[in-house]
């Protein structure tokens, strides 16, 4: 059975785990959950040990709805639990209605028992039919959704090597999550050729520890391209972290030690870190990451001490690590004395790209049907004044959306008078 595309499904969790607690909670599922956490895959696992009642809780319903992928572990007594069957019904609802991906796993039970609903599964449904004698449609629905999910591409433990089995499952999940690349978002005009240029600098095939600096003026799209690169390659690393807008965070009284904690907790998948000062933080980063292949994005760095505290030297990180730094200050990158720094200067959008981006925000789906030529003439002037700066084009387009031709003309007059668009570019 074909499943809907994941790319259109907004989610909070990467993975929701559905399982029969008494069968697998303290063994297989714990091992799978820990393996997902180590790869920075944000996973929901219900830790309530008592499954009471027939209907699942609103919190579980919400967690299922907010997950990109549902992993269903069919174990020997999965069908015994009305709780699990209700979860499964909700998962199928999200698969059909929201594009959720479902990954079935058959563990500790003959696959035919699941597919044909025989033996322990038949016995479970016989008991449900007796218990819900007056709600036959409920049991019928449970049988149908189980058959539907069992028919999807699945994983079966065949050779008894559980560690390898779990690794294959994790890699499959990562491959599915990779379809969620932010470069598919419609507003990221012109980003693909720039990503291709960055790919050669990042060079994933090289085993050295490599720093890549992305520099350029405010509003030119440094963060957007860094985010797109991160979403494209994060799964190739043992740990990854994207620290957004460092300059603004520090201006808002967030301390460097807090950013060190974020970096460590994201990559090590732990929250119990005791770091009292930046010196302790730098030592911990070096000690805990020097054998780990990591991807780190440090976004909008504006002082050397930020690099010194978060990514000072090559020997802080394991072979193959990549540290990408975005900044408005090329000199800051030049001053960071690491053995392998590559530089990428962001360039402005060309006229065609500028027009495409501006129109997304100024017209949305529907360009004006009246005064079309007048709008197009004013658009040409606005694009010229914007100078190919993405944030300027977005802000101007958003401001002019839904406004009449006179207001467009007034804005063009204002731009002519000032002969600059710094007002529209947020630093």
Catalytic residues: 87
CB 339 within 8 A of CB 314: yes
Task: Provide the token pair at 156.
Answer: 């079966």
State the greatest distance between any 2 C-alpha atoms of the chain, in Å, as a whole number: 81
H helices of 132-291, where?
Answer: 136-150, 162-177, 191-202, 222-233, 246-251, 256-268, 278-289
CB 95 within 8 A of CB 4: yes
Give the integer Cα–Cα distance in Å for 384 and 373: 17
The residue assigned the tokens 């007594």 is 77
Cα–Cα distances in angstroms (integers) from residue 96 to residues 5, 123, 147, in the given order? 11, 29, 15
H helices of 311-404, where?
Answer: 330-335, 351-362, 372-386, 390-400
HEC profile for 194-229? HHHHHHHHHCCCCCCCEEEEEECCCCCCHHHHHHHH
Give the integer Cα–Cα distance in Å for 87 and 419: 60
How far is residue 152 CA from its own chain's centroid? Answer: 24
Give the integer Cα–Cα distance in Å for 15 and 36: 9
């Amino acid at each position: 059975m074909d499943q809907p595309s994941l790319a259109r499904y907004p989610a909070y969790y990467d993975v929701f785990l559905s399982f029969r607690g008494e069968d697998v909670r303290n063994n297989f599922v714990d091992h799978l959950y820990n393996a997902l956490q180590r790869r920075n895959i944000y996973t929901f696992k219900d830790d309530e040990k008592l499954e009471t009642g027939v209907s699942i809780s609103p919190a579980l319903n919400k967690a299922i709805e907010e997950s990109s992928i549902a992993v269903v572990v069919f174990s020997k007594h999965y069908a015994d639990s009305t709780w699990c069957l209700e979860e499964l019904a909700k998962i199928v609802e999200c698969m059909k209605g929201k594009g959720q991906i479902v990954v079935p796993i058959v563990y500790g039970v003959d696959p035919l028992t699941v597919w044909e609903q025989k033996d322990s599964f038949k016995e479970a449904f016989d008991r449900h039919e007796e218990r819900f004698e007056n709600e036959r449609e409920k049991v019928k629905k449970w049988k149908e959704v189980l058959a539907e999910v069992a028919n999807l591409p699945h994983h079966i433990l065949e050779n008894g090597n559980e560690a390898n089995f779990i690794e294959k499952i994790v890699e499959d999940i990562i491959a599915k999550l990779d379809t969620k690349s932010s470069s598919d978002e419609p507003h990221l005009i012109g980003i693909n050729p720039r990503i291709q240029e960055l790919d050669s600098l990042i060079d994933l095939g090289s085993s050295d520890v490599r720093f890549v600096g992305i520099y350029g003026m405010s509003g030119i799209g440094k963060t957007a391209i860094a985010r797109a690169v991160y979403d494209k390659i994060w799964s190739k690393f043992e740990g990854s972290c994207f620290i957004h807008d460092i300059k603004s965070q520090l201006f808002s009284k967030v301390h460097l030690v807090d950013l060190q904690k974020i970096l460590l907790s994201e990559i090590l998948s732990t929250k119990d870190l005791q770091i009292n000062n930046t010196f302790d933080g730098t030592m911990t980063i070096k000690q805990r990451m020097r054998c780990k292949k990591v991807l780190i994005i440090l976004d909008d760095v504006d002082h050397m001490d930020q690099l010194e505290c978060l990514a000072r030297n090559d020997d802080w990180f394991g072979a193959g690590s990549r540290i990408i730094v975005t900044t408005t200050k090329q000199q800051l990158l030049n001053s960071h004395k690491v053995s392998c720094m590559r530089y990428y200067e962001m360039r402005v959008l060309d006229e065609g790209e500028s027009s495409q981006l501006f129109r997304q925000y100024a017209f949305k789906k529907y360009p004006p049907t009246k005064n079309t030529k007048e709008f197009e003439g004013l658009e040409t002037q606005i694009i010229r004044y914007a100078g190919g700066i993405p944030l300027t084009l977005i802000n101007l387009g958003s401001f002019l959306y839904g406004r009449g031709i006179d207001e467009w003309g007034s804005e063009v007059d204002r731009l002519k008078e000032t002969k600059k668009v710094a007002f529209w570019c947020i630093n």
